Amino acid sequence: MSTNRKKILMFGWEFPPVISGGLGVATLGLCKALAPMADVKMIIPKSVSEFSIPNITLIGLNSFTQQELDALFTGEQSNFSEYFQAQSDWSFNPYEKIPQGEYFQSRFSTVFQESVQPFEIQDLYAGDVIKKVIEFARIAVRFGLTQTFDIIHAHDWMTFLPAMELKRRTGKPMVLHVHSTEYDRAGANSKNWVYELEREAMQYADCIIPVSRYTGKICENHYGISPHKISPIHNGIEPIQPMVRYKPFKEKLVIFFGRVTMQKGPTVFVEAAKIVLAHCPNVRFVMAGSGDQLNPIIEKISAYGLGDKFSFTGFLNKQKLNELLAIADVYCMPSVSEPFGLSAVEAVQYQIPTIISTSSGVAEVLNGALQFEVWDTHKFAQYIIAALDYNGLQNSVIESNAKSLKAITWEHCAEEVMQVYQKLC
């Protein structure tokens, strides 16, 4: 193996087959594309023994035995205390909230006073996520200090703690890959512990890689980061052979898939559907996903008397999602704030007309997609009607997006990431 290959110590939170959204898919895609160019050691909370990637060393903290952990924790250890001073009511994932009054300093102290135990985690986002994030950092740093590497690369806020501590301990360059921010999830008024951690990590980083120019501007404008540290790099996507499936009903099918949260704009989708159905009753809408807004959305649809026009599937695995894409007529992504939006590119692979909000990163690369301001429900509805009724428009959108798709590759993404590594080294 060539000695000039960069050695990357990478931290991730989601990684297939343990995923709940686009973060794990994106992390996997980048790792596979980096493998021919760099030696990547990926540390994640949970891995499964039968899952492997050529040229990628995948380390799940759940695989460490008690004896191995005891050996790692012999001697001095860092405590990260400077990051745990805030008290807040904050959303730690798209689904739940920490109760008001939770003390992060208390939580931190409790975790570090406990004896280290094998890292057992069933659901990445259930239960006490604060404790999981701290435990992950605690073990990951101790393991990282035993490794040889040139660059530290961390994916999203859940992994920023170990990256910061290892940079402090080793002086190695730190890259933060920003797939989503607390600003995206909670809005401009959110100044909680996650926001503060993101901001401090961005300030401490040597380079920030947001997944779009849109997200790069959020880092600059809402986190106060110098644009000279920001290098936007768009996500890629795995080429697929689209599934062929025949629709079991006559209605046109309009789909939304993703977390059913404020960030993803499900209310906008429902309001547009109401307008569409007043003009085109022969349409069915599907909302695929779960989240804290699901019940309120169902209640709203019921109040509108549109229950027979909507279907709710819950979270779909990749196979079921492909089956849905194979029969869809229009795909909608009305996100209030979307760092990238891989789901829109997945729809393009199925040659489905795509309608997306301008407040998204994928709007920068899908030149044929119909784009609307997220507050403009009437324009959104008009685009849905036009995409269903006019073959010429359908074909134009599909053909233009197909051309854009050629540049949306993980290989291109990895090449740009390697350029960042070269500059830092």
Two tokens at 89? 């009511």
pLDDT digits (tens, 9 = 90+) for 63-120: 888 888 888 888 755 556 555 554 444 444 443 444 433 445 565 666 666 777 777 7
Question: What's the maximum distance between 2 C-alpha atoms anywhere in the chain?
Answer: 71
Q: Does residue 377 register a pLDDT over 90?
A: yes
CB-based contacts of 362: which residues, under 8 Å, 6+ apart? 212, 333, 338, 340, 341, 342, 344, 345, 356, 369
Work out the end-to-end distance of the chain between its first and last CA atoms, rounded to an integer number of angstroms. 19
pLDDT digits (tens, 9 = 90+) for 327-357: 999 999 999 999 999 999 999 999 999 999 9
Domains annotated for the chain, with CATH where assigned, are: 6-236+410-424 (3.40.50.2000), 252-405 (3.40.50.2000)
Kindly tell me the number of DSSP H helices and DSSP E strands found in the chain: 15, 12
* 116 secondary structure, DSSP code: P
* Predicted local confidence at residue 110, as pLDDT: 65
- The whole-angstrom separation of Cα 87 and Cα 108 is 12
CB-based contacts of 42: which residues, under 8 Å, 6+ apart? 10, 11, 12, 15, 27, 31, 56, 57, 58, 59
Paired sense of beta strands 310-314 and 283-288, if any? parallel
* Predicted local confidence at residue 353, as pLDDT: 96
pLDDT digits (tens, 9 = 90+) for 250-299: 899 999 998 899 999 999 999 999 999 999 999 999 999 999 999 999 99
Tell which wins on pLDDT, 26 or 50.
26
